[in-house]
Amino acid sequence: MIYSVEPRLLSGAVDAPPSKSYAHRAIICAALSDGVSRIIGVSMSDDISATVGAMRALGASIDIDGDMLTVRGIHGMVDGDVVIDCAESGSTLRFIIPVALTRCTGKIRLIGRGRLGARPLSPYFEIFDSQGIYYRNDSDADRLDLTLQGTLISDNFELAGDVSSQFISGLLLALISAEYDSSIKITTPLQSADYIKMTLDVMSDYGAVVSYDAMEREFTVFGNQSYDSSRYAGEGYKVEGDYSQAAFYFVANALGCSVKIDGLNALSAQGDAKVKDMLLYLAGAPQDKELRFDVSNVPDIVPVFAVACALRKGVTRLVNAGRLRLKECDRFAATVENIGALGGDIYAVGDTIVIRGVDGFKGGARIKGHNDHRMVMSAAIASCRCDGAIEITDCESVNKSYPDFFDRFVSLGGSIERID
């Protein structure tokens, strides 16, 4: 799907969509608990649909009514073989692998599409080798096809801190149901700590106990626990607003728009909440000062934050951005390519993106969406400061995380026309 987007300044009010990160975790904890509970404020994006489908495959009953899920938890083990479709959701894949290995007696086949088959899984494979868990990976660059069989047991695990936090979160979510206590030792400085904090927050909300020794960089996961969803049988667990998606509107405001963003938790643990401070610093710094942002812990907001950097006079460096290469597309290369296509002055040096500000973007360009929701939405926000219409490909990819993004975009005064 290709949209032609006219340059317009956005104005009005918009509710931040529910946090995908919190919703993934709440669905898993509710599904692993006994009894019936509700989760309120869920946007049924493709990624969240994948996690719902995964927990259904493991035996949970999940009914969907608008933005509310009613979850009847899994009882006991899953007998027989299961097939879990992770679609293109890296969170679903990495969370479900250890969870399934504590719940299934038969073979577990995980399938998916897009670049999901190319997402790194070596930290899990190393654990499988050490515990004798069978795995066969028939994935390729265009699809996921991974078969597992075995049981994840209590252990003393070691993981590097610069791997995706999803591996650590997946183990944390799963290991409370193991027979004995486990430890997870982080062997290098921990990145994406905010995502792990979200995992621990949701686990605590559902009654699980995990301790963390910051000096030793070690988690202790107490075994033989169960998630308790009884407190959410009535009013339900409320999913807070998503700073990762709100970032598009914060950047729009930095470009001259006037969008009021409702539904965000000012005290949120979400790491992407830092976008507010990053934009304030960007706007307040002297134009002749070279700025440097370490984006290792906020990779999801880099494509749209780079749009704001490209329209700031002076030089901005986004350092430690290498993890962007391992997302739905190579977001590192795509960010450089797309801002360059709009007339921005941008280039890469190692894992750093270097941006020299320009006065505005040019119209007339066709911007590749790279089948990546964040690249598409970033291009739409950039259109606000173009001197003519631009075309954006792969616009249907917003369904992965924010299905009604373009509806909200138009309601705020944006102008789009489908041309293919």
Burial degree of 313 (CB within 10 A; 0-12, 13-18, 19+): exposed
Q: What residue spans of 255-330 are helical by DSSP H?
A: 275-284, 302-310
3-class DSSP state of 72: strand
The CB-based long-range contact list for 125-132 (8 Å cut-off, 24+ gap) reads: 127/152, 127/155, 127/157, 130/155, 131/155
* Contacts of 199 by beta carbon, 8 Å cutoff, 6+ apart: 25, 168, 169, 172, 173
Chain Cα centroid distance, residue 206: 21
Report the catalytic residues: 300
CA dihedral 237, 243, 244, 248 (to 10 degrees): 140
3-class DSSP state of 356: strand
* Contacts of 14 by beta carbon, 8 Å cutoff, 6+ apart: 249, 259, 260, 261, 262, 408, 411, 412
Q: What letter would DSSP give residue 350?
A: T
Residue 116 gets the label, from left (phi > 0), alpha (psi -120 to 50) or beta, of: alpha
